[in-house]
Amino acid sequence: MCELLGMECNVPTDIVFSFAGLAARGGRTGHHADGWGLALYEGKAARIFREPAAAADSPLARFVREHPLKTLLAVAHVRKRTRGPVCLVNTHPFARELWGRQFVFAHNGTVKNVRRLKLGRFHPIGTTDSEYAFCALLGAIAGDFKAYPRAPSELAAAVAEHGARIGVGGTFNFLLGDGTQLIARCSTRLHHIVRQAPFARATLADEDVTVDFAAVTTPKDRVAVVATLPLTKDERWIAATPGTTWVFRKGRLAATFGD
């Protein structure tokens, strides 16, 4: 299957450290060599890099690592193809505009009977079950609300509800960013960590890279990182219970929903 990576912070932060670990799994330490993508939010819009190639060997992925861009919210993905050919339109993360902002989505797993799902005004460009499920999810929440809710928690609750419905009988691990919050659903496997003071050192599990976060942060910083599998070997990651949806805002776990 694919692997997911998300980051949500209370201060602009670069994702270079975590993305280096994910990129290594995209063809070097893992078999997820069928494409990669990274979305970095700037307000309501996301700067998106995507390539239908192995991240571990990609000059573009190396460029992203060597030219860090700080953001409050990021979504990344390395793909192991299950449905749909290896090509740009089938490469995660996918993005659509709704209520004057970009929604970004990345998925891990297979959604059963996905073509039976009702679509609204959103339609897939590629041939993956992932993009089709994303369009169905956006269509559902667009039907629930006329505009972006004043309380982001209302939107998160709706995403959790529709995510459970869409994922019935299949595997629907996903990350959804809307520029304000990061929503992470665990169908089978997902982990997260919140880095905050007192900061310590961390070493990647897939690369010989160590960062002393105390040297590059302030005591007020908080950074939440979500990944399919822990990216570091010397930190305590929290595993999600299948059927759980996490919501991250301002670098902390703001809400948890169950199916």
- The question of whether 2 is a catalytic residue gets the answer yes
Q: 61, 3, 55: which is closest to 27 by C-alpha?
A: 55
pTM: 0.96
Distance, in Å, from the CA atom of 78 to the CA atom of 64, rounded to the nearest integer, reads 15
* 55-86 pLDDT, tens digit each: 999 999 999 999 889 999 999 999 987 777 88
Reduced to 3 states, what is the DSSP secondary structure of residue 67? Answer: coil
Query: Which whole number is the average pLDDT over 232-245?
Result: 97
Distance, in Å, from the CA atom of 116 to the CA atom of 40, rounded to the nearest integer, reads 32
Query: Which whole number is the average pLDDT over 5-31?
Result: 94
Rg (alpha carbons) of the chain, rounded to whole number: 17
Mean pLDDT of the chain: 95
* 94-117 pLDDT, tens digit each: 999 999 999 999 999 999 899 999
Number of domains in the chain: 1
Question: Which CATH number does the domain housing residue 165 bear?
Answer: 3.60.20.10
Could you give the percent of the chain with pLDDT greater than 90? 90
CA angle 188–191–192, rounded 5-degree value: 150
Could you give the percent of the chain with pLDDT greater than 70? 100
How would you classify the pairing of strands 222-227 and 238-239? unpaired
Residue 142 DSSP label: H
Residue ranges making up the domain that contains 233: 3-258
Give the pLDDT band (50/70/90) at residue 33: confident
Q: What are the C-alpha distances in Å from 213 to residues 41, 54, 62, 151, 217?
A: 22, 28, 22, 32, 6
163 backbone dihedrals φ, ψ, rounded to 5°: -60, -40
How many other C-beta atoms are found inside a 10 Å radius of the C-beta of residue 144? 14
What does the pLDDT read at residue 1? 73
